[in-house]
Amino acid sequence: MPVITLHGVLPDPEARLFNATGKFITPERLERFLVRLGRLYAPLSLDDLVEALAGGRSLKNRFVLTFDDGYGTLYDYAYPLLQKMGIPFAVFVTTGMVDSDTVLWNDLLEFAVFSTGKALLPGDLVKEDLSLDSYEERRKAIIRLKALLKQRSLEEARDEVARLCEALEVPTDASELRQVRFLSTDRIREMSGGGVVFGGHSVTHPILSRETQERVHEEIAGCKALLESITGRPVTSFAYPNGQAGDFNEMVKDEVRKAGYLAAFTGIRGFARPGGDVFEIKRLLVDCRWTYEEFETRASGILEAVGR
């Protein structure tokens, strides 16, 4: 069964400032995607999925909807829409961003490159200047920079983006960045009371496999403790930051188990299956630029069935 993964929900034109990789979906497209999905599957809650997988039970013709990170606009756009549609969903939260005015370095990077008035990106990171003459050139520059910065430590990536903002003359406290701030404690509590399931996504969103075991423990257990204190409910699921192969390892998985989570989700594209490793569950990460037909095809499992 597909575990559909999205990140943020933003209307146009705000989404264009943060959408080099299709991370933000408009409310209208979200609704139409879910109508399409409803032709194939019926919705299921994350907790019900975890319980079924732990028991080795098959769940055909169902889907689970998840959002990573915990953007504040989920409260404004996703929460009322999905309540209206009767679709349960889960949010994996980076708890260090809760009640904060700061934003993730990758969102600040996208904003800086998309909003600068400069036509050239200094080549400090990529060893060559990059043209910013068009939206497409800016998008490609962001993808290239993200790939490089994800190889750095979290602290190094933040420092590099701060320097880039200075070079591009983009303020790091611009009002547009409120669109990518995170949920508040009060809103998490309200949404939890309204049936939204919250899961852990670390405290600061590092690549966990590159961190010491001590820090991994703090990122995983600390995230769980804070969410449980806010919601008053057990937090049983975790999603690895970035979540690709190599971003987590057996040490990280063991820390997830020891913290008391019952399951963990990756960013590796695929489908949840009974009998698999419940601490390495695959998901269908949605590129919000997909056409409706492409989304429906990918969610159906046809491409996986034919090995594509």
What is the phi-psi region of residue 275: left when phi exceeds 0, alpha when psi lies from -120 to 50, beta otherwise?
A: left
Closest CA to 94 of 250, 260, 227: 227
Band of residue 13 on the pLDDT scale cut at 50, 70, 90:
confident
Tokens of 303: 């491409």
State the average pLDDT for the chain: 94
pLDDT above 90 (res 28): yes
Which of 126, 156, 177 terminates a domain? The answer is: 177
Note the pLDDT tens digit of each residue in 46-85: 999 999 988 888 788 999 999 999 999 999 999 999 999 9
Q: How far is Cα 82 from Cα 24, in angstroms, rounded to an integer?
A: 16
| CA proximity to 207, closest of 61, 47, 94 | 94
- Each residue of 221-247: pLDDT tens digit? 999 999 999 999 999 999 999 999 999
Q: Write the CATH number for 24.
A: 3.20.20.370
Share of the chain above pLDDT 90, in %: 84
- Among candidate residues 138, 162, 177, the one where a domain is terminated: 177
Taking the alpha carbons of 52, 85, 288, 106 in that order, is the dihedral positive or negative?
A: negative
Distance CA(308)–CA(305), nearest Å, equals: 8
Same domain, 66 and 161: no
Supply the range of the domain harboring residue 24: 3-100+181-305
